[in-house]
Amino acid sequence: MRRSQIAGLVLVWRFSLVSAICCTALLLPTTSEVNAADSASAKTAKQAKSKTAEQGKTALSDETKSVENAYFAAGCFWKVQYIFSKVPGVIATKAGYTGGKTENPNYGQVCSHTTGHAETVRVEFDPKKVSYKKLLEVFWSHHDPTTLNRQGPDIGDQYRSEVFYANAAQKEEAQNYLAELQKSRKFSSPIVTKLEPIGQFYDAEEYHQDYFKKHGQSCD
Protein backbone atom coordinates (compact mmCIF):
# COMPACT_ATOMS: atom_id res chain seq x y z
CA MET A 1 0.00 0.00 0.00
CA ARG A 2 1.35 3.34 -0.91
CA ARG A 3 2.25 5.90 1.68
CA SER A 4 -0.37 8.31 0.33
CA GLN A 5 -3.08 5.67 0.72
CA ILE A 6 -2.08 4.96 4.28
CA ALA A 7 -2.16 8.64 5.09
CA GLY A 8 -5.63 8.89 3.60
CA LEU A 9 -6.90 6.01 5.70
CA VAL A 10 -5.48 7.58 8.84
CA LEU A 11 -7.26 10.85 8.03
CA VAL A 12 -10.55 9.01 7.49
CA TRP A 13 -10.14 7.14 10.79
CA ARG A 14 -9.38 10.36 12.66
CA PHE A 15 -12.39 12.07 11.10
CA SER A 16 -14.69 9.16 12.08
CA LEU A 17 -13.36 9.20 15.65
CA VAL A 18 -13.82 12.94 16.00
CA SER A 19 -17.34 12.66 14.55
CA ALA A 20 -18.26 9.93 17.00
CA ILE A 21 -16.99 11.97 19.96
CA CYS A 22 -18.86 15.04 18.79
CA CYS A 23 -22.09 13.07 18.35
CA THR A 24 -21.72 11.60 21.84
CA ALA A 25 -21.13 15.06 23.26
CA LEU A 26 -24.23 16.34 21.54
CA LEU A 27 -26.32 13.53 23.06
CA LEU A 28 -25.08 14.07 26.63
CA PRO A 29 -26.86 16.80 28.67
CA THR A 30 -24.89 19.85 29.68
CA THR A 31 -24.14 20.74 33.31
CA SER A 32 -26.75 23.49 33.24
CA GLU A 33 -29.31 21.07 31.85
CA VAL A 34 -28.54 18.55 34.59
CA ASN A 35 -28.84 21.25 37.27
CA ALA A 36 -32.12 22.46 35.78
CA ALA A 37 -33.52 18.92 35.75
CA ASP A 38 -32.45 18.33 39.36
CA SER A 39 -34.02 21.63 40.41
CA ALA A 40 -37.29 20.79 38.66
CA SER A 41 -37.35 17.35 40.26
CA ALA A 42 -36.70 18.79 43.71
CA LYS A 43 -39.41 21.41 43.20
CA THR A 44 -41.93 18.75 42.17
CA ALA A 45 -41.06 16.61 45.19
CA LYS A 46 -41.36 19.64 47.50
CA GLN A 47 -44.75 20.55 46.03
CA ALA A 48 -45.98 16.98 46.47
CA LYS A 49 -44.75 16.92 50.08
CA SER A 50 -46.35 20.30 50.76
CA LYS A 51 -49.65 19.15 49.28
CA THR A 52 -49.60 15.98 51.40
CA ALA A 53 -48.85 18.00 54.53
CA GLU A 54 -51.64 20.45 53.72
CA GLN A 55 -54.08 17.60 53.20
CA GLY A 56 -53.04 16.19 56.57
CA LYS A 57 -53.62 19.56 58.24
CA THR A 58 -57.02 19.85 56.58
CA ALA A 59 -58.03 16.38 57.73
CA LEU A 60 -56.85 17.16 61.27
CA SER A 61 -58.66 20.49 61.21
CA ASP A 62 -61.89 18.84 60.09
CA GLU A 63 -61.55 16.24 62.82
CA THR A 64 -60.84 18.91 65.44
CA LYS A 65 -63.88 20.91 64.38
CA SER A 66 -66.12 17.94 65.15
CA VAL A 67 -65.08 17.82 68.82
CA GLU A 68 -66.22 20.16 71.60
CA ASN A 69 -65.80 20.30 75.38
CA ALA A 70 -68.42 20.83 78.06
CA TYR A 71 -67.84 21.24 81.81
CA PHE A 72 -70.20 20.21 84.59
CA ALA A 73 -70.05 20.26 88.39
CA ALA A 74 -72.77 18.24 90.11
CA GLY A 75 -71.40 16.80 93.32
CA CYS A 76 -68.77 14.06 93.57
CA PHE A 77 -67.06 13.80 90.19
CA TRP A 78 -66.85 10.01 90.43
CA LYS A 79 -70.57 9.74 89.71
CA VAL A 80 -70.69 12.64 87.25
CA GLN A 81 -67.89 11.15 85.16
CA TYR A 82 -69.55 7.74 85.14
CA ILE A 83 -72.89 9.18 84.01
CA PHE A 84 -71.48 11.20 81.14
CA SER A 85 -69.10 8.47 79.98
CA LYS A 86 -72.14 6.36 79.09
CA VAL A 87 -73.82 8.98 76.90
CA PRO A 88 -73.65 8.09 73.18
CA GLY A 89 -71.60 10.70 71.34
CA VAL A 90 -69.32 11.40 74.29
CA ILE A 91 -65.74 10.70 73.27
CA ALA A 92 -63.91 11.08 76.57
CA THR A 93 -64.31 12.43 80.10
CA LYS A 94 -61.88 13.79 82.66
CA ALA A 95 -62.39 14.47 86.36
CA GLY A 96 -60.82 17.69 87.56
CA TYR A 97 -61.07 20.99 89.37
CA THR A 98 -62.09 24.44 88.16
CA GLY A 99 -63.91 27.60 89.23
CA GLY A 100 -61.46 28.64 91.94
CA LYS A 101 -58.29 30.67 92.39
CA THR A 102 -55.66 28.14 93.48
CA GLU A 103 -53.29 26.97 90.74
CA ASN A 104 -52.65 23.24 90.32
CA PRO A 105 -54.77 22.24 93.32
CA ASN A 106 -54.77 18.75 94.78
CA TYR A 107 -57.70 16.88 96.25
CA GLY A 108 -56.78 17.72 99.84
CA GLN A 109 -56.65 21.44 99.08
CA VAL A 110 -60.01 21.36 97.31
CA CYS A 111 -61.58 19.56 100.26
CA SER A 112 -60.25 22.24 102.62
CA HIS A 113 -62.75 24.71 101.10
CA THR A 114 -60.01 27.31 100.56
CA THR A 115 -59.44 27.02 96.81
CA GLY A 116 -62.89 27.92 95.48
CA HIS A 117 -62.70 25.02 93.03
CA ALA A 118 -65.55 22.62 92.29
CA GLU A 119 -65.20 18.95 91.48
CA THR A 120 -65.88 19.13 87.75
CA VAL A 121 -65.98 16.81 84.76
CA ARG A 122 -64.78 17.81 81.32
CA VAL A 123 -66.91 16.12 78.68
CA GLU A 124 -65.38 15.79 75.22
CA PHE A 125 -68.17 15.18 72.73
CA ASP A 126 -69.04 15.02 69.05
CA PRO A 127 -71.81 17.58 68.39
CA LYS A 128 -72.81 15.60 65.29
CA LYS A 129 -73.79 12.70 67.54
CA VAL A 130 -74.96 14.39 70.73
CA SER A 131 -76.10 17.96 71.23
CA TYR A 132 -75.02 20.27 74.02
CA LYS A 133 -78.68 20.56 74.96
CA LYS A 134 -78.79 16.80 75.50
CA LEU A 135 -75.78 17.05 77.80
CA LEU A 136 -77.58 19.77 79.76
CA GLU A 137 -80.55 17.43 80.09
CA VAL A 138 -78.29 14.67 81.44
CA PHE A 139 -76.67 17.14 83.85
CA TRP A 140 -79.90 18.43 85.37
CA SER A 141 -81.47 14.96 85.46
CA HIS A 142 -78.75 13.28 87.54
CA HIS A 143 -78.32 15.53 90.57
CA ASP A 144 -80.31 17.81 92.84
CA PRO A 145 -79.80 21.39 91.59
CA THR A 146 -81.78 22.86 94.50
CA THR A 147 -79.29 22.18 97.30
CA LEU A 148 -76.59 24.80 97.77
CA ASN A 149 -73.05 23.40 98.05
CA ARG A 150 -74.35 19.92 98.70
CA GLN A 151 -75.27 16.65 97.05
CA GLY A 152 -76.69 14.11 99.48
CA PRO A 153 -74.16 13.45 102.25
CA ASP A 154 -71.42 15.36 100.39
CA ILE A 155 -71.29 18.87 101.79
CA GLY A 156 -69.00 21.70 100.72
CA ASP A 157 -68.55 24.29 98.00
CA GLN A 158 -66.62 21.76 95.90
CA TYR A 159 -69.91 19.83 95.51
CA ARG A 160 -71.91 22.77 94.16
CA SER A 161 -74.13 22.61 91.07
CA GLU A 162 -72.55 24.57 88.25
CA VAL A 163 -72.30 24.70 84.46
CA PHE A 164 -69.05 26.11 83.10
CA TYR A 165 -69.74 27.18 79.53
CA ALA A 166 -66.94 27.16 76.95
CA ASN A 167 -68.36 29.72 74.51
CA ALA A 168 -71.23 32.11 73.87
CA ALA A 169 -73.38 29.43 72.22
CA GLN A 170 -73.11 27.15 75.25
CA LYS A 171 -73.89 30.06 77.56
CA GLU A 172 -77.08 30.86 75.66
CA GLU A 173 -78.20 27.23 75.58
CA ALA A 174 -77.55 26.80 79.30
CA GLN A 175 -79.45 29.99 80.13
CA ASN A 176 -82.40 28.95 77.97
CA TYR A 177 -82.50 25.43 79.42
CA LEU A 178 -82.34 26.78 82.98
CA ALA A 179 -85.14 29.23 82.23
CA GLU A 180 -87.28 26.39 80.88
CA LEU A 181 -86.66 24.32 84.00
CA GLN A 182 -87.58 27.19 86.29
CA LYS A 183 -90.73 27.88 84.29
CA SER A 184 -91.78 24.22 84.32
CA ARG A 185 -91.50 24.04 88.12
CA LYS A 186 -90.04 20.57 87.78
CA PHE A 187 -88.33 21.04 91.13
CA SER A 188 -90.25 22.02 94.22
CA SER A 189 -87.45 24.26 95.45
CA PRO A 190 -85.57 27.02 93.60
CA ILE A 191 -82.71 25.94 91.36
CA VAL A 192 -79.34 27.17 92.64
CA THR A 193 -77.19 26.02 89.71
CA LYS A 194 -74.60 28.63 88.75
CA LEU A 195 -73.60 29.43 85.16
CA GLU A 196 -70.04 30.68 84.73
CA PRO A 197 -67.44 30.81 81.94
CA ILE A 198 -64.83 28.08 82.10
CA GLY A 199 -61.44 29.15 83.40
CA GLN A 200 -58.38 27.00 83.91
CA PHE A 201 -59.29 23.32 84.24
CA TYR A 202 -56.94 21.15 86.30
CA ASP A 203 -56.94 17.37 85.92
CA ALA A 204 -57.63 15.50 89.13
CA GLU A 205 -55.29 12.82 90.40
CA GLU A 206 -55.18 9.59 88.42
CA TYR A 207 -56.85 7.54 91.15
CA HIS A 208 -59.96 9.70 90.71
CA GLN A 209 -60.23 9.05 86.97
CA ASP A 210 -63.00 6.57 85.99
CA TYR A 211 -63.23 5.59 89.64
CA PHE A 212 -66.40 3.52 89.33
CA LYS A 213 -65.13 1.63 86.29
CA LYS A 214 -61.83 0.83 87.97
CA HIS A 215 -63.62 -0.57 91.02
CA GLY A 216 -66.41 -2.36 89.18
CA GLN A 217 -69.11 -0.08 90.56
CA SER A 218 -72.02 1.75 88.99
CA CYS A 219 -74.55 4.40 89.92
CA ASP A 220 -77.30 3.85 87.32
- Residue 151: phi and psi, rounded to 5, are -140, 105
Torsion of CA 98, 118, 169, 139, to 10 degrees: 140
Write the pLDDT tens digit of every residue in 53-77. 444 444 444 445 689 999 999 999 9
Q: Is the pLDDT of residue 12 over 90?
A: no
Kindly tell me the burial class for residue 2, based on how many C-beta atoms sit within 10 Å of its own C-beta (0-12, 13-18, 19 or more).
exposed
Which residue range is the domain that position 52 belongs to?
A: 3-64
Closest by CA to 136, choosing from 203, 197, 181, 167, is: 181
Say whether both 80 and 156 belong to one domain.
Answer: yes
220 in a domain, yes or no? no
Q: What is the tally of structural domains in the chain?
A: 2
22, 23, 76, 111: which one is catalytic?
Answer: 76
Say whether both 57 and 93 belong to one domain.
Answer: no
Q: Nearest-5° angle of CA 117, CA 121, CA 122?
A: 110
Average pLDDT (116-124) is 98
- Residue 95: phi and psi, rounded to 5, are -80, 140
Query: Quick check: is 76 catalytic?
Result: yes
Under 8 Å between Cβ of 65 and 57: no
Q: Indicate the pTM of the whole model.
A: 0.71
Say whether both 139 and 168 belong to one domain.
Answer: yes
Local confidence band at 217 (pLDDT 50, 70, 90 cut-offs) = confident
Say whether both 58 and 76 belong to one domain.
Answer: no
Say whether both 23 and 82 belong to one domain.
Answer: no
